[in-house]
Chains A and B, each alone.
Chain A
Amino acid sequence: MKTLFRGVRLLDPASGRDSLGSLLVVSGRIAAVDPAEPPSDAAVVEGEGLALCPGLIDLRVGLREPGEEHKESLATLSSRAVAGGITTLVALPDTLQPLDQPALVEFVSRRAASFGCVTVLPMGAATKGCAGKELAEMGLLREAGAVAFSDGRRPIADARTMRLALAYAASFGSMVVQHPEEPSLVSGAVATEGPLASSLGLPSAPAAAEAILVARDIRLAELTGGHVHFGPVSTGEALDLIRSAKAKGLRVTCDTAPPYFDLNETAIGEWRTYARLSPPLRAEEDRLAVLASLADGTIDAIGSDHQPQDTDAKRLPFALSEPGGVGVETLLAVTLTLVHNGQLPLLDAIALLTSRPAALLGLDAGRLAVGAPADLCLFDPDRAWQIRAEELLGPSRNTPHDGRAVQGRVVGTWKAGHRVFG
């Protein structure tokens, strides 16, 4: 099976290419870029100047299967991911039944593969039950397909456990992904400490809770030689620590999620539970620091931090509602606002969604190179639309960006050469 993309603006951050051209796909892989004599039997996709980039790699997705399929199954996740141009997603292991058994890791990737839309790469639990006490069977989990280790949204609180996890994971070449909030400081908090939370009377924690844990874990990475990855990072102070750790040559990386550069805490407004996130939305100065760290390269990737919650979990008094927002369908559009605002060059923005997360995990995907899998995203960088919660694919529609006007829309998505969206 052959497909020829003609008249497309090829965006390939790995090679730095941004120009009109064509791309030939044969048997699920990229066979040629700008083929001189394209085969006459290829199906043709006329780009008409639309942008074609590698299928997006979403580094941070919360799963609800197994256990909470009413919030989202792997089937619904797959269809909304490809609607957002995503062809590979990295899943957090803190499902209701945490991914601390090789069979569960294998179940998730196999079941997702059965839909043929998107590759799901699960992280394995760093500790048994993601409970932060005893190490999980990292070696066996890795053999079953785990691409990194984490306790998901639960920070690994105990310094000794974190030290052991970093040291042990390093022997498999795996990174430990840490949710950057010092747990005892943020216990019970639902907002960032400051005038807004005080005036709403919401339990809050200082933004410094992030830097406090990041500082500890950078030191532990140095001690063990392990690779620590923080995400989603949301404060300038933590980003400063990460920037200087990188300058020292330590194995420290991080990601952030669109709410942390697109919104600040005022999005809570009057008790909008869709804006209750973990970490909580921050003050404007921290949002600006995240922007600056995207621009200077300190942040390695943008992940959606997709966390579906159903109506029952969100239609509650603010502090009783579950944290998290959906994000796979809006990942590209919200990221492109940075480009339209002149805050980030287009190729850099696409790199944060493709080649850079691929490099982090050593993936084959994320580039438009001959021989690479034909995972592709065709999009109109300029098309304006409005994010509306009720128009998202379900079942959970808890977007913190409800009502946001954005520019940039996915037109088609291809997985291994097959059109899976558009």
Chain B
Amino acid sequence: MAEGGFGRRIGCRRHLLGIAGLEPRAIAGVLDLAETYISLARQGGARDVLRGRTVLNLFFESSTRTRTSFELAAKRLGADVIAMSPPASAMSKGESLLDTATTLNAMAIDVLVVRHDQSGTAALLAQNVDATVINAGDGAHEHPTQALVDALTIRRRRGTLAGLTVAICGDVMHSRVARSNVRLMTMMGSRVRICAPPTLLPAGAAAWGVEVFTDMRAALRGADVVMMLRLQRERMTRSFVPSAREYFRFYGLDPEKLTLAKPDALVMHPGPMNRGVEIDSAVADDLAHSVIEEQVEMGVAVRMAVLDLLVRQV
């Protein structure tokens, strides 16, 4: 990925705002580098490519695993890490978002990891701060590092993404994880299926180059990978689905539905899980299929690779 580089150039820096715009070669490159970080971590080694750099985790939305994994990744690379979680109320209208950007410029932050409930926020910040911006989730738009984590998890188990049938099931409409994964998996040659109740299917999703299902059994048939999405409680109050129990009956991944997928199918979930809503505990904890814990382990290595690649190019 020498000439292409990794990430999106805005101003004099490169940022990771989404999977959209990345080249397959750049994705393979970041996964390769992540592999080396996994071995390094398992050997208890460290590399201080970020020594003297400051990474700010700016999370406007609550998060445990993504934030922690970015923090660990940055620390293992020798960076100074600061975490900021502005209360949702103070920022609810987003009015001070660019004031925050101005403040950060004055503090000479090197890397800004941002999560926000509004689509496009990472891009808006990238246009207004001097730091390298990494999108840790913006509204229903993208969550690129999660898709890279999922890709690495699958690649390590199956050797490749090409030719695999990946079923992404659940609240696709509101899911940034689904969007980033659809982009990444289709780009890397997987056959992607999305499955949701009709009320949670994004309009025009067929244009994404995926097969669209509303029948989960049909979507699971012969799948190599089953990726479940989190269903937020709020979707019930706004009538996207009638109830949690009805949702679980038709769209929850239970052992019976899982038999329709390939016998060695991988089960994934970006977390945090709603057990008994989108996934049965018997499936989530079944280590013959579930790689959910492994996804968390991959999280740190992938984020180390992303930080390393982006900072290297400054």
**A: which residues have CB within 8 A of B?**
193-204, 206, 270-271, 312, 315-320
| Chain B residue at minimal CB-CB distance from A317 | B118
Task: For the complex formed, measure the closest distance between the CB of B314 and the CB atoms of chain A, giving whole angstroms.
Answer: 22
- Evaluate contact between B116 and A317: CB separation under 8 angstroms: yes
Given contacts A197-B203, A270-B123, A271-B123, contact A317 B97 (CB under 8 A): yes
Which of A201, A270, A320 has the largest number of chain B CB atoms within 10 A? A201
| Chain B residue at minimal CB-CB distance from A191 | B119
Task: For the complex formed, measure the closest distance between the CB of B206 and the CB atoms of chain A, giving whole angstroms.
Answer: 8
CB neighbours (8 Å) of A320 from chain B are 93-94, 118
Task: For the complex formed, measure the closest distance between the CB of A182 and the CB atoms of chain B, giving whole angstroms.
Answer: 16
CB neighbours (8 Å) of B118 from chain A are 317-320
CB neighbours (8 Å) of B121 from chain A are 317
For the complex, what is the distance from the CA of A195 to the CA of B139, rounded to whole Å?
17
- Evaluate contact between B204 and A201: CB separation under 8 angstroms: no
Total of A-B residue pairs, C-beta within 8 Å: 71
For the complex, what is the distance from the CA of A312 to the CA of B93, rounded to whole Å?
11
CB neighbours (8 Å) of A200 from chain B are 119-120, 141
Q: Is B46 an interface residue (CB 8 A)?
A: no
Q: Is B95 an interface residue (CB 8 A)?
A: yes
Chosen A-B contacts, 26 in total, with CB atoms closer than 8 Å, are: A194-B204, A195-B203, A195-B205, A196-B204, A197-B203, A198-B173, A199-B208, A201-B119, A201-B141, A201-B142, A202-B120, A202-B140, A203-B140, A271-B119, A271-B120, A271-B124, A315-B124, A317-B94, A317-B97, A317-B118, A317-B139, A318-B118, A318-B119, A319-B120, A320-B93, A320-B118
Q: Mark B105-144, 1 if CB is under 8 A from A, else 0.
A: 0000000000010111101100000000000001111100
- Evaluate contact between A201 and B203: CB separation under 8 angstroms: no
Task: For the complex formed, measure the closest distance between the CB of B128 and the CB atoms of chain A, giving whole angstroms.
Answer: 8
Q: Say which residue of A201, A270, A316 sits within 8 Å of B95 (CB atoms).
A: A316
CB neighbours (8 Å) of B204 from chain A are 193-196, 198
- Evaluate contact between A317 and B203: CB separation under 8 angstroms: no
Q: Is B24 an interface residue (CB 8 A)?
A: no
Q: Say which residue of B97, B173, B205 sits within 8 Å of A316 (CB atoms).
A: B97
**B: which residues have CB within 8 A of A?**
20, 93-95, 97-98, 116, 118-121, 123-124, 138-142, 173, 176, 179, 202-205, 207-208
Task: For the complex formed, measure the closest distance between the CB of B37 and the CB atoms of chain A, giving whole angstroms.
Answer: 29
For the complex, what is the distance from the CA of A202 to the CA of B202, rounded to whole Å?
10
Besides A271-B119, A317-B116, 5 more A-B contacts (Cβ < 8 Å) are: A194-B203, A196-B204, A201-B141, A202-B140, A271-B123
For the complex, what is the distance from the CA of A195 to the CA of B208, rounded to whole Å?
8
CB neighbours (8 Å) of B208 from chain A are 195, 198-199
For the complex, what is the distance from the CA of A320 to the CA of B119, rounded to whole Å?
10
- Evaluate contact between A270 and B203: CB separation under 8 angstroms: no
Which of B20, B119, B179, B202 has the largest number of chain A CB atoms within 10 A? B119
For the complex, what is the distance from the CA of A318 to the CA of B208, rounded to whole Å?
22
For the complex, what is the distance from the CA of A315 to the CA of B93, rounded to whole Å?
12
- Evaluate contact between B203 and A193: CB separation under 8 angstroms: yes
* CB-CB nearest 7 A-B residue pairs: A201-B140, A195-B204, A317-B118, A201-B141, A198-B202, A271-B120, A195-B207
Which of A199, A200, A315 has the largest number of chain B CB atoms within 10 A? A199
- Evaluate contact between B124 and A201: CB separation under 8 angstroms: no
For the complex, what is the distance from the CA of A315 to the CA of B141, rounded to whole Å?
18
Given contacts A270-B123, A316-B94, A320-B94, contact A198 B203 (CB under 8 A): yes
CB neighbours (8 Å) of B120 from chain A are 200, 202, 270-271, 317-319
Task: For the complex formed, measure the closest distance between the CB of B22 and the CB atoms of chain A, giving whole angstroms.
Answer: 15
- Evaluate contact between B139 and A319: CB separation under 8 angstroms: yes
| Chain A residue at minimal CB-CB distance from B175 | A201
Given contacts A201-B140, A201-B142, A271-B124, contact A317 B205 (CB under 8 A): no
CB neighbours (8 Å) of B124 from chain A are 271, 315-317
| Chain A residue at minimal CB-CB distance from B173 | A198
- Evaluate contact between B98 and A315: CB separation under 8 angstroms: yes
- Evaluate contact between B94 and A204: CB separation under 8 angstroms: no
For the complex, what is the distance from the CA of A285 to the CA of B208, rounded to whole Å?
20
CB neighbours (8 Å) of B176 from chain A are 201
Task: For the complex formed, measure the closest distance between the CB of A101 and the CB atoms of chain B, giving whole angstroms.
Answer: 30
- Evaluate contact between A199 and B179: CB separation under 8 angstroms: yes
For the complex, what is the distance from the CA of A197 to the CA of B207, rounded to whole Å?
12
For the complex, what is the distance from the CA of A195 to the CA of B116, rounded to whole Å?
22
For the complex, what is the distance from the CA of A195 to the CA of B205, rounded to whole Å?
6
For the complex, what is the distance from the CA of A198 to the CA of B140, rounded to whole Å?
9
Q: Say which residue of B119, B142, B207 sits within 8 Å of A319 (CB atoms).
A: B119
- Evaluate contact between B119 and A317: CB separation under 8 angstroms: yes
For the complex, what is the distance from the CA of A194 to the CA of B202, rounded to whole Å?
8
CB neighbours (8 Å) of B205 from chain A are 195, 198
CB neighbours (8 Å) of B98 from chain A are 315
